[in-house]
Amino acid sequence: MSLLLLTILTPLLLALMILSPHLRPWMRYCLPLAVVPALLLALKGDPEHLVLPFMLTGMELGLDPLRGVFLWLAVLVWLVAGAFASRYLGGDRYQHRFCFYWLLTLTGNLWLILAFDVPGFYSGFALMTFAAYGLVVHNASKEAQRAGRVYLWMAVLGEGLLVAGLFAAVSATDNYASSLHLLPAAIAESEQTLLISGLIFFGLGVKAGIAGLHLWLPLAHPVAPTPASAVLSGVMIKAGLLGWLLLLPLGEVNLPGAGLGVVVLGLVAALGGALIGVCQQSPKAVLAYSSISQMGLMTLAVGAALMDAQAAPALMGITALYALHHGLAKGTLFLGVSTLGRNPWWLLPLALPALALVGWPLSSGAAAKLALKDALPAALDTGWLLALLSLAAAGTTALMLRFFWTLRGQLRESGPRRPDPWLLACWLVGLACTGGLFWWLPLQELPALVYGLSPGKAVDLILPPLVAMVLAALGWGLLRQWLKWPALPPGDLLLPLTALMVWLSHQGHQSGRAVAVPGQRLMVRGRVLLDWLMLDRGRPERLEAWLRQQVAWIFLLLLCLMMLLALSSL
């Protein structure tokens, strides 16, 4: 059996252990084993291609240099987080349920990375998206259930836009068994290039957490168990980025207007994520907004590639590199919250991935940020953009300072405790990947770029973090003397949306009569729906309980039938 197919089948087959009461207690020990075929595939490194004649239109799997970078990211984060979860879940009563959703999510993640065909990419993307709901709501708290509802609503919105964009793109190729590599050229030659590109961009942008569609992210990351937070932020949000690089007409056509709009969205996320993130009270919430901010910089790179087709190939490779750097560093930080947060002395090594995110010289962040700045097309090589990028770097520094401050407060409440040896060992492996493995994986010339820093480039990297540290110290001193530190709950835009719906509802009821105007009636119904989504009122308990109990089994049964049909046709 091909290693490509084994990479996808292994976690899916391990998920079947949930059907046996005798095997369920062993599921958590199998979480790191599920990634072993993917690790062997990544180590092999040779481009592979496999065409399987089943699943209606056929199934096409493969590996190329771009997918190889994302495969390495997925392997490293899922492997370390899976080993971490095997101990972390030790006292969890519902650990088998978590493992089941974990393995399905991993299957979808690996499938979308290796898929060369449109149905395979979407199937993997959808499986990863909806299986991850089980990871978000695992704790079953009110906060987790609310985050899960927002996550599902945003996921359905994104899936709808993505399906529409894929149907339109495939129809433009006149080949309904279309390979992914045919779509960018077909979209570029289509008369509806902007429409198709917009549908795909926003459909995948929900997962990538772009500005305005990021609502699920700061709610889901803090409430999910720590290993799930690591893979959500480290790997899963990069699925949208990979989809952009594979599907959008990058390098095929110049779209200056659309590209500039994407650049602006990226800057809004980079700066807005930092501004809201420093007002959070939980370390995991701060890290969630940091992910939004960093994804904004990657979105900016995609926008620059849309603007200039000649610069697109270099920007695509650098964006993949940035995703690898961010995924490893952010996964290590999330795991460190539970590993090191109870011992003050162990907070010092946690500063290493934080400095990488800031872009300190000789770090992976320095390589990624310098490469991104050097690859920007001439149209964006302007003083205002470079100034905003420096401001975003200062915002990242402020976020990391806020992260350590909230972590310090969490430590005070829980009291010091010696780290668990197994969890600490897993975290140290992640730290080693962040600091060392990064350098030789995708692009060999980038380490030379950083080690050969000119004085001007070194100043560009060091100055924004230093300025941010000084301003943070001054601001903290002033706020401590005269003001309280500003606090915003996660979910930011949900608050004004809820307030607007409540106000519209009250306006209708204050008239003292039944709401007869169609527009008002629609707004009131919308308010009831949003109220259920956000404020946990009127939730249909029976329907939700039935869905939790039955849909997963039906979904698993359908998947098993599909895989049996696939294997029978080999």
Question: What does the pLDDT look like over 447-483, one tens digit per residue?
Answer: 444 444 444 555 555 555 565 555 555 555 555 554 5
Question: Using 50, 70 and 90 to split pLDDT, how confident is the model at 407?
Answer: confident
Say how far apart CA 286 and CA 214 lie, in whole Å: 14
Query: Tell me, what amino acid is at 565?
Result: L
Say how far apart CA 335 and CA 118 lie, in whole Å: 34
pLDDT score of 503 more than 70: no
Structure tokens that stand for 511 in this block = 């008239």
**DSSP character at residue 416:** -
- Sign of the CA dihedral with 489 first, then 492, 498, and 500 last: positive
Least confident of 75-79, 154-158, 251-255, 336-340: 336-340
Least confident of 61-65, 414-418, 491-495: 414-418
Burial 26-60 (b: 16+ CB within 10 A, else e): ebbebbbebbebbbebbeeeeeeeeebeebebebb
Q: How many helices (H) and strands (E) does the chain have?
A: 23, 2
Residues in the chain: 570
pLDDT score of 299 more than 70: yes
Say how far apart CA 442 and CA 72 lie, in whole Å: 9
2: left (phi over 0), alpha (psi -120 to 50) or beta: beta
Least confident of 224-228, 261-265, 369-373: 369-373
Contact 209, 493 (CB under 8 A): no
Say how far apart CA 78 and CA 409 lie, in whole Å: 29
Determine the pLDDT at residue 504. Answer: 59
pLDDT: is 370 or 491 the higher one? 370
Query: Tell me, what amino acid is at 403?
Result: F
DSSP sequence for 312-379: HHHHHHHHHHHHHHHHHHHHHHHHHHHHTTT-GGGHHHHHHHHHHHHT-TTSHHHHHHHHHHHHS-GG
Domain spans in the chain, listed from the N-terminal domain onward: 3-482, 494-568
Least confident of 179-188, 244-253, 546-555: 546-555
> What are the pLDDT digits (tens) for 531-544?
544 444 444 444 44
Structure tokens that stand for 231 in this block = 């893979």
| Of 347, 406, 89, 111, the residue nearest 224 (C-alpha) | 89
What's the burial of 264, exposed, middle or buried (CB within 10 Å: 0-12/13-18/19+)? middle
Using DSSP's 3-state secondary structure scheme, residue 468 falls into: helix
User: How many Cα atoms are found within 13 Å in the side-chain-facing hemisphere of 321?
Assistant: 28
Question: What average pLDDT does the segment 320-331 reach?
Answer: 91
Count of beta carbons in the 10 Å neighbourhood of residue 532: 14
pLDDT score of 343 more than 70: no
Average pLDDT, the chain: 79
Which percentage of the chain shows pLDDT scores above 90?
A: 34
Question: What is the reported pTM?
Answer: 0.84
Q: Quickly tell me which residue has 């519209």 as its tokens.
A: 504
- Sign of the CA dihedral with 207 first, then 211, 212, and 218 last: positive
What's the burial of 174, exposed, middle or buried (CB within 10 Å: 0-12/13-18/19+)? exposed
> What are the pLDDT digits (tens) for 12-52?
999 999 888 888 889 999 999 999 999 999 888 777 788 87
Contact 96, 19 (CB under 8 A): no
Determine the pLDDT at residue 350. Answer: 85
Query: Tell me, what amino acid is at 32?
Result: P
Say how far apart CA 80 and CA 328 lie, in whole Å: 10
Query: Tell me, what amino acid is at 43?
Result: L
Distances from the Cα of 159 to the Cα of 128, 451, 555, angstroms: 12, 43, 17
Q: Quickly tell me which residue has 């608050």 as its tokens.
A: 495
512: left (phi over 0), alpha (psi -120 to 50) or beta: left
- What is the C-alpha radius of gyration for the chain, rounded to an integer number of angstroms? 23
Bridge partners of residue 113, in order along the sequence: none
Bridge partners of residue 76, in order along the sequence: none
Distances from the Cα of 122 to the Cα of 228, 412, 442, angstroms: 22, 45, 25
Structure tokens that stand for 93 in this block = 């009563």
Sequence-distant (≥ 6) Cβ neighbours of residue 284 within 8 angstroms? 221, 222, 229, 334, 337
Structure tokens that stand for 156 in this block = 């359905």
> What are the pLDDT digits (tens) for 189-244?
888 899 999 999 999 999 998 988 888 888 898 889 999 999 999 999 999 999 99
Contact 490, 277 (CB under 8 A): no
β pairing state of 59-63 and 48-52: antiparallel
Using DSSP's 3-state secondary structure scheme, residue 493 falls into: coil
Apex CA 480: angle with CA 478 and CA 486, to 5°?
A: 95
> What are the pLDDT digits (tens) for 510-529?
544 444 444 455 445 554 55
Say how far apart CA 179 and CA 173 lie, in whole Å: 10
Q: Quickly tell me which residue has 């306006």 as its tokens.
A: 507
Residue 54's Cα: distance from chain center in Å? 31
Contact 318, 301 (CB under 8 A): yes
Say how far apart CA 323 and CA 325 lie, in whole Å: 5
Say how far apart CA 77 and CA 437 lie, in whole Å: 12
